[in-house]
Amino acid sequence: MGKYIKYEIKGSYKVILGILAIVLIASTVIQVNVRTGGFDGSRFPLVAFLFSLTIFGTFLTAFLFIVGSFRKELYEDRGYLTFTLPLTGNQIVGGKLIVAIMWFIVLGFVTLLYNIFLAKILFDIYLPFKEMFDVFNTFSKEAITFIITAFIGGVITLILIYFSMALSRVSIRNKKIGGLWFIIFLILNALVAYFNVKINGLIPYYLNLNTLEITHLKGLEYLPNITMNMNGASITMGTGEGAFIGIAGMIYNLVVGIVAFLGTGYIIENKIDL
Amino acid sequence: MRNIVEIKGLSKSYFNKKALNNLALNIEEGKVVGILGPNGSGKTTLIKILTGILRETKGEVLIDGHEPGVYTKSIVSYLPDRNFLYNWMTIQDALSFYKDFYKDFNEKRAYELLDFMKLKRDMKVTSLSKGMTEKLNLTLVLSRNAKLYILDEPIAGVDPVARDQILDAIINNYNENSSMIITTHLVRDMENIFDDVVFLREGEVYLTGNAETLREEKGMQIDELYKEIFGE
């Protein structure tokens, strides 16, 4: 699978670098514009607004490019090379998935760090790194839980997208219907979320990540909760009280992710008709 | 002699159309077999099933004793009838790719074949003409020491000069311990390299046999026989 990942990266890094370049240039234009156009928020410059749209559009393009690379294997002639390699379906899906996750992380982190350092240079802002990390430590379990849950949620969403694409390829033979995978994805996603809520309702036990105690939902009702369902897990965060993860929902989501992954691997290894 | 390919009762249907109908065929080790038939006779369907990118509706296919899968993909060297290389690749990238994925890839032979085909390593695959693409694809496929080569229409759509070069490459690089399946409807150009021929008609084997024996029995070239069978 390592070799497959190598060629996936080779085939996509130029586009990703191009996207990064556009995002960084746009970020620079926005920040310089705000610096010269006033920072009091009274007249947020039009240029900055337009470049913010540019960044959004570029990220959307990146998302479609990265996710669409799996679809290309299913519908374009390159599939004749990929699917005749001596690799299992799981190795191909796994390779695609790892490279996709890697690119999303690279795009996110580079954009974030670049903007922080540019702001520091342009506005001479005091960046309280030490304090930031102290705060991070205080709420570390909440923050880490949040990051992990968001990450798992993102990965499961990606797997569901791949699964939908593979399903749409084998459901209507030899017909290329543009948005079919997206409709399948919306339906699957809705079903997954619906049963997640149901399961969390049926088995309403939450794991407190600060104390590692398991609590029934009734024991949490006093909290000023922010409840999020991020496709990865039902997570409840009370201010200062730690983070609570819906145990049944989390396990259910992991199972969904694994089943969809193996299902995609199975389809491309045993059901694909090029 | 041992069979490298064994096919029993193979059928493939698309809705109500039968692409292959209860086909039975064995291919012996060390033979070059021509699968002959007009468009729509089931040649490409058969080859896709052998290479594991299409599933049969019914029947059994064994290659070196295994059903099409990861193992058979590692011993079959397949030339599809289209541009299958990734668009971002240069010729050198394609060679490295083959070297990385196929243990039986012979790099030295690949460079010799590239020279023979007059292809440069730094050329991008998207910049190649149809004939050059066909030569590159064949270079990659023939540079493997595979147990079974499957070539789908290797000379379709290329000019006569390139055609001769491709045929020479096939003859010179074929090793006697391997087997080769070639589909074509350009029978006259290729008939001299076949040991056996299989005539496919509407998804069924219409006639099969040793090419030389058929020539003697029927008193005509395979090309003429082809026209007699399919020219009605």
Question: What are the extents of the domains in chain A?
Answer: 1-138, 140-274
CB contact under 8 A, B85 and A81: yes
DSSP count for chain B of H helices, then E strands: 9, 9
- Put simply, whether B106 touches A (Cβ < 8 Å) is no
Tens of pLDDT, residue by residue over A189-243, are 999 988 888 887 788 787 776 677 777 766 666 555 555 544 434 555 555 556 6
Residues of B in contact with A86 (CB under 8 A): 70-71, 73-74, 101-102
Q: How far apart are CA B221 and CA B232, in angstroms?
A: 17
The C-alpha angle A121, A124, A129, rounded to 5 degrees, equals: 90
- Closest among A272, A16, A225 to B54, alpha carbons compared: A272
Q: How far apart are CA B226 and CA B207, in angstroms?
A: 10
- Predicted complex: ipTM over 0.95: no
Q: How far apart are CA B147 and CA A235, in angstroms?
A: 55
- Among B85, B88, B101, whose Cβ lies nearest the Cβ of A3? B101
Tens of pLDDT, residue by residue over B35-87, are 999 888 899 999 999 999 998 889 999 999 999 999 999 999 999 988 899 99
- Put simply, whether A85 touches B (Cβ < 8 Å) is yes
Q: Is the pLDDT of residue A146 over 90?
A: no
Give the mean pLDDT of A46-75: 85
Interface of B with A in 35-74 (CB under 8 A): 48, 51-55, 69-71, 73-74
Give the mean pLDDT of A251-266: 94
Residues of A in contact with B66 (CB under 8 A): none
Average pLDDT of chain A?
81
* Percent of chain B surpassing pLDDT 90: 56
Residues of B in contact with A174 (CB under 8 A): 14
3 state DSSP class of B9: strand
- Among A77, A85, A273, whose Cβ lies nearest the Cβ of B73? A85
The number of C-alpha atoms within 13 Å of A64 and in the hemisphere containing its C-beta is 8
Cα–Cα separations (whole angstroms), residue B126 to A167, B16, B121, B122, B166? 30, 38, 13, 12, 20
Closest approach of B79 to chain A, Cα-based (Å): 9
